[in-house]
Amino acid sequence: MPNSTTPLEERKTVEVCYAPSHYSLYGNNFDVVVVIDVLRATSAITTALHTGVKEIIPVATVEEAIQYKKNGYIVAAERDGKVVEGFDFGNSPYAFMNPEMVGKSVVLTTTNGTKAIQTASEKTVIIACLNNLTVVCEYLIELDKNVLLLASGWKEKMNLEDTICAGAIADHLIETKKFTSNEDSTLAAKFIFRSARDNMYTFLRSSSHRRRLMQLKIQKDVKYCLMVDTVPCIPILKNGKLVLLENNES
């Protein structure tokens, strides 16, 4: 087990990828992919499982979601920040604090987050957001494997909120001196996180997605998603379903 003086060449790698379409550029050398969509998919997924939803079945397309709905599943569907017509739930974390969902499987499709999950589904995938930041960092340090932090972005463009979260995780891991990084994307994410960390809400004031969500009048969701360490659990993808990672599981 490496210690605090792990030589550089023995350290594990942590890198930040800004969007699913960049994923293949980062090669195949990662053991675990951490999918991040702070506003709002991964915050909603983490909240759902913490609140008692049995599992989240992420699907990339609305068509798949419709099929599940026809088969009697509870289905949440979001596109462009709005609940898709014909569905009862979108992507608000508050929608998943619902006693009727406790113990049930819930299907979810979102604009970017579920697409990112699907992109990495061949690997071990865990879910991160600001709400579960520290438990994710602790888990990754303990795991001691090569990590790719995959931001969901917005329609294949980089966004600030996912970059801040990825930068926070990368910064934390690299500070342990058990991890190292080579990519400028990781360095930039770290610097953006350090500039933002004292007041993320203000830092993100004019970010594209926050503006988008403000137009939809869901500032309450933004405030919720920017809270750090409020939902201490880790969703993991198993057989295409997101479930809670059990204690001591690796």
Q: Which two tokens stand for residue 173?
A: 């891991």
41 contributes a contact to ligand 3SL by CB under 6 A: yes
Q: Which is nearer to ligand 3SL, 41 or 200 (CB)?
A: 41
Residue with tokens 């998603």: 225
Candidates 14, 15, 37, 200; binder of ligand 3SL (CB under 6 A) is 37
Residue 240 has φ and ψ, to the nearest 5°, of 80, 5
Which long-range contacts link 235-240 to residues 24+ away (Cβ below 8 Å)?
A: 235/42, 235/45, 235/46, 235/49, 235/56, 235/126, 235/127, 236/124, 236/125, 236/126, 236/127, 237/58, 237/117, 237/121, 237/124, 237/125, 237/126, 237/127, 240/57, 240/58, 240/121
CB atoms under 10 Å from CB of 184, counted, come to 9
Strand partners, 179: 12
Binding flag, residue 81, ligand 3SL (CB under 6 A): yes
Q: Which of 51, 98, 105, 111 binds ligand 3SL (CB under 6 A)?
A: 111
Of the candidates 13, 46, 112, 186, which one interacts with ligand 3SL according to CB under 6 A? Answer: 112
* Nearest residue (CB) to ligand 3SL, 41 versus 226: 41
Quick check: 40 binds ligand 3SL (CB under 6 A)?
yes
Residue 102 vs 214, nearer CB to ligand 3SL: 214
User: Considering beta carbons, is residue 110 or 132 the nearer one to ligand 3SL?
Assistant: 110
Q: How far is the CB of 224 from ligand 3SL (least distance, A)?
A: 11
35 forms beta bridges with 127, 150
Given the DSSP bridges, would you call strands 12-17 and 179-180 parallel, antiparallel or unpaired? parallel
Q: Which residue from 46, 47, 110, 118 is in contact with ligand 3SL, where contact means CB under 6 A?
A: 110
Q: How far is the CB of 19 from ligand 3SL (least distance, A)?
A: 11
**Which residue lies nearer to ligand 3SL by CB, 20 or 167?**
20
Using CB under 6 A as the binding criterion, the count of chain residues that bind ligand 3SL stands at 12
Task: Kindly state the smallest distance separating residue 74's Cβ from ligand 3SL, in Å.
Answer: 17
Rounded CA-CA distance 1/23 in Å is 29
| CA dihedral sign of residues 14, 200, 159, 227 | positive
- The residue among 111 and 176 lying less far from ligand 3SL, judged by its C-beta, is 111
What stretch of H or E contains 235? strand 235-238
Interface contacts to ligand 3SL, rule CB under 6 A = 37, 39-41, 78, 81, 91, 110-113, 152
